[in-house]
Amino acid sequence: MLVLVAPGQGAQTPGFLTPWLDLPGAEDRLRAWSDALDLDLVHYGTQADADEIRDTSVAQPLLVAAALLAARQLFPATEDVAREVGATAGHSVGELAASALAGVLTDDEALKLVRARGLAMAEAAAITETGMAALLGGDPETTVAHLEKLGLTPANVNGAGQIVAAGTLEQLAALEADKPEGVRRVVTLKVAGAFHTEHMLPAVAKLEAAAASLDAADPVVPYVSNRDGLTVAAGADVVTRLVGQVANPVRWDLCMETFQDLGATALIELCPGGTLTGIAKRALPGVKPLALKTPDNLDAARTLIAEHSSTAE
């Protein structure tokens, strides 16, 4: 069984979309999306520097566009995803790409919603100087208790010994000086705010308004939610969860437990892949992961699909 996943904010790097524009129709698709969003995705994906693409209002639509661009090379239509994929999910903002791949939203709807999401979360992040940091190693229970003592939120519980803390810059500095027992490193993430915490509550109302006009369809492939790792059968419920998730922790560990329960044998992480496949290598023994970093990985991805899709013999 094949799982298709989309990465979250922080996965972007300068120029990461450059090789994708050599594919037939890719640049035209990105430019059409750019016009619809009033955001130059081609520039940000090819020429912008690290600081420019760190901006939340840029990074979020750029990542969803990248995931969808890569996915449509493998699965040109939603029907192809339904036929070949056993489950889909996204980490944080990657959930917007997953919602389109599952047929809940169209690509255009997902991109317009993520544009609103990025702008709303950027505004919320500007209220107080906040950030996020990944903690590597340590016992989860011990780590969570320590974070709460420092006033930090375990905003991403990623599994495989990785928890991401979020809070004010002062709280993160205190964490750097006082690591939880067993934590080897604290790595500052390339994000501009404390996402999936109470600091993002101002963004929820704006995102609700942006989502109000959407006519969500029910998923055509099992959609696994960040909120609790459960599969969601109703499109309206998916959208409700997408809205609320900006201010609630990501439980990627529970998503991976669901992948196992569903019988996953392979996992493809869409562009710019790497982070989620790294976690899967440690947390999902027996599941073959593949990161779709560049078009050079497409042939390997197609082979994996042929071997592990629901139509494979």
Residues tagged active-site: 92, 196
Measured CA to CA in angstroms, residue 22 lies from 25, 29, 64, 77 at distances of: 8, 12, 19, 21
Q: Are residues 158 and 8 in contact, defined by beta-carbon separation less than 8 angstroms? A: no
Judged by DSSP in three states, 279 sits in: helix
Backbone angles phi and psi of 270, in degrees to 5: -70, 165
* Strands 266-269 and 2-6, bridge-based pairing: parallel
Burial of 106 (C-beta count, 10 Å sphere; 0-12/13-18/19+): middle
Q: Are residues 232 and 223 in contact, defined by beta-carbon separation less than 8 angstroms? A: yes
Q: Say how far apart CA 23 and CA 295 lie, in whole Å.
A: 8
Of 288, 297, 246, the closest CA to residue 121 belongs to 246
Of 17, 55, 73, 64, the closest CA to residue 37 belongs to 64
Q: Which residues contact 151 (CB under 8 A, 6 or more apart)?
A: 167, 168, 171
Q: Say how far apart CA 258 and CA 270 lie, in whole Å.
A: 19
Q: Which amino acid is at 88?
A: T
Of 58, 133, 193, 300, the closest CA to residue 291 belongs to 300
